[in-house]
Amino acid sequence: VIMEITQKLTKFATLDYEEYLRFVGQYTSFERAEVQRVFREFDEDSSGSLDTEEIEGVMRSFSITPFKATVEAAIAVVDEDHTGTVEFHEFVHLLTVYKKTEGFSQAEVKDLYAVFYKFAVPVSDSKLREVPESEMRNALMNLFGPQTLSVGVKLVNEVLVKIQKKKEEKAAKRALSRQQGGPEQGMKFREFLVWARCLREAEITAYRRKFDKVDYTKSGLLMQDNLKEALHHIGYTALRPEVEDLLERRKVSKDDMIDFECFVNLVQDFCRTDGFSRRDVDEFFEVFSAFDKEGSGEVGVLEVASMLRWLGFSIELDVANSYFQSVNLDGADRMGFAEFLRLMRLHRDDCLGHMQEVFDRNCEQELVLKQDCLKQVLTQMDRRVSVNVISQCLQGVRDARYIDFDDFVQVTDNMRRHILNQMRKQAGFTDDEVRTFQQAFDKYDTDGNRKLTRDEMPPLLADLKIDLRTVDDQRHFVRPSLSMVLNGWFVT
């Protein structure tokens, strides 16, 4: 249409100002007539307005899956008179909104821009930014979590093929018009939104296949018990507590069946938290904020290793760095909370794999552990387990006599938290080490007043094989270390 109008205006390859104004007028008239044609096409009952079902047809023509929530959100944006239907002038508004947002909500556009900005660079002589061609794959892959990367790789490859095809078409058009190619252009945010929409629709198609795979009755409805299996097909090891938390935060009642739209909403919510419950996410964010001492919203690999240890996980720096590099697709030396959450997902799955191996080695044929062998099994996970800890670790378990894998994970998590609390309380020393300190302390606390003088400290430290050679060593050791370990015993 553009070529047709310009050819009528001039035989040259450029337009002067007057010709440009006439072009704008003619194209605006064409566009309005086209919008009216589309409006009449979808106004099936010729009422002069579009209802919900008719708006669904419009969205399908935009290649947007017309979920109920999406349709309601679209109507809410443009329905000025609150009739629940869309009249022609409101329809024009709707088209304008969707041209700019590709059907994403305001919150989604904000999240997408954060991903775009992370990989984009400034364009010379402009305030705009664009993602260089070399970073397009990483930018698009960043839209997926670590568990859905296998799906993401396939979808991103399909999109990159389309992008390359578009570039070749542009190059061919330039060659026909004998224009100079100029420098290679990157992807601006508007184009990034277009391809993000393509990815979203491809992702929904993939979700449909997973949904149909566990829809054993072919009714278009899933029982909640099938949700774990569906999430497993997508790439997540979904445990009962996380699924229950997901259903609760999406306000799905226990007896509700799950249709495809509800399923997509559940999966997208689950992916946003990388499969963690609200409790876990809150805990991770609290720790992240504590170690982000500068308040920059980012941490480095050293902080990540320290954070994992603070959460009770024994990890070496090189392992922490491996996780760090796996999720930091832009190659930066620092990461934000979103990347840290993805890192925790990778670490969690490694832990779950180890737990599964231990569980499988020790479970009965019914795939359950009996309580009387629980201490032996937990000792394989952590040698610091004691009998008096086990009863506390069983809190929240449905049936302590027969423990399935989901319960076993919960018991193991409870054990980690209990040991972690004890270790923090005891300044990182084990129960056996604290007992050794207690015995040594009692030996020199001859009057039983739970206090030691400075003269009594050197032989005590000698018994503990702690060699403090200088006065500075003694001063730095006494207050911050022993006072914490002895937990209430003071040195005078």
Give residue-wise pLDDT tens across range 308-365. 988 988 888 899 999 999 888 777 889 999 899 999 999 999 999 999 998 998 888 7
Predicted local distance difference test score (pLDDT) of residue 77:
83
Q: pTM of the predicted model, to two decimals?
A: 0.72
Cα–Cα distance for residue pair 38/22, rounded to 1 Å: 24
391 alpha carbon, distance to own chain's centre: 34
Predicted local distance difference test score (pLDDT) of residue 136:
83
At the second CATH level, the architecture of 151-272 is: Orthogonal Bundle (1.10)
pLDDT digits (tens, 9 = 90+) for 83-104: 889 999 998 888 888 878 888 8
Element (H, E) at 76: helix 68-78
At residue 130, φ and ψ (nearest 5 deg) are -150, 150
For the segment 105-121, the average pLDDT, to the nearest whole number, is 88
Q: 260 by DSSP, 3-state: which? A: helix
* Residue 469 pLDDT exceeds 70: no
pLDDT digits (tens, 9 = 90+) for 411-463: 888 888 887 887 777 665 666 777 888 888 888 887 788 787 777 777 877 77
Listed as own residue / partner, the contacts of 354-362 with beta carbons closer than 8 Å and 24 or more positions apart are: 354/381, 355/381, 355/405, 355/408, 355/409, 355/412, 356/405, 359/405, 359/408
* Residue 5 pLDDT exceeds 60: yes
| Structural domain boundaries in the chain | 2-110, 151-272, 276-341, 363-425, 431-491
* Residue 490 pLDDT exceeds 50: no
Which of the pair, 427 or 393, is modelled with greater confidence? 393
pLDDT digits (tens, 9 = 90+) for 59-71: 888 778 888 877 8
pLDDT digits (tens, 9 = 90+) for 395-422: 778 888 888 999 999 888 888 888 788 7
Residues 382, 431 contacting (CB under 8 angstroms): no
Predicted local distance difference test score (pLDDT) of residue 148:
54
Indicate the residue type of 356.
Q
Cα–Cα distance for residue pair 223/240, rounded to 1 Å: 14
Please choose, from the candidates 96, 98, 51, the residue with its C-alpha nearest in 3D space to the C-alpha of residue 72.
51
Cα–Cα distance for residue pair 199/429, rounded to 1 Å: 50
Cα distances (angstroms) measured from residue 70 to each of 102, 105, 211? 12, 8, 20
Predicted local distance difference test score (pLDDT) of residue 290:
94
* Residue 485 pLDDT exceeds 60: no
CATH superfamily membership of 276-341: EF-hand (1.10.238.10)
pLDDT digits (tens, 9 = 90+) for 43-55: 999 999 999 889 8
* Residue 208 pLDDT exceeds 70: yes
- Beta-carbon neighbour count of residue 318 at 10 Å? 9
**Residue 484's pLDDT band (boundaries 50, 70, 90)?**
very low
Indicate the residue type of 196.
A
Predicted local distance difference test score (pLDDT) of residue 276:
92
For the segment 30-34, the average pLDDT, to the nearest whole number, is 88
2-110, what's its fold? Recoverin; domain 1 (1.10.238)
Predicted local distance difference test score (pLDDT) of residue 302:
92
Signed CA dihedral, 306, 311, 314, 318: sign only: negative
Same fold across 151-272 and 276-341: yes
* Residue 480 pLDDT exceeds 50: no
Predicted local distance difference test score (pLDDT) of residue 235:
83
Percent of the chain with pLDDT over 90: 27
* Residue 24 pLDDT exceeds 70: yes
Residues 403, 368 contacting (CB under 8 angstroms): yes
* Residue 173 pLDDT exceeds 80: no
pLDDT digits (tens, 9 = 90+) for 261-295: 999 999 989 988 999 999 999 999 999 999 999 99
Task: Name the average pLDDT for the chain.
Answer: 82
**Residue 183's pLDDT band (boundaries 50, 70, 90)?**
low
**Residue 477's pLDDT band (boundaries 50, 70, 90)?**
low
Q: Which residues contact residue 366 at a Cβ distance below 8 angstroms, ignoring those fewer than 6 apart?
A: 402
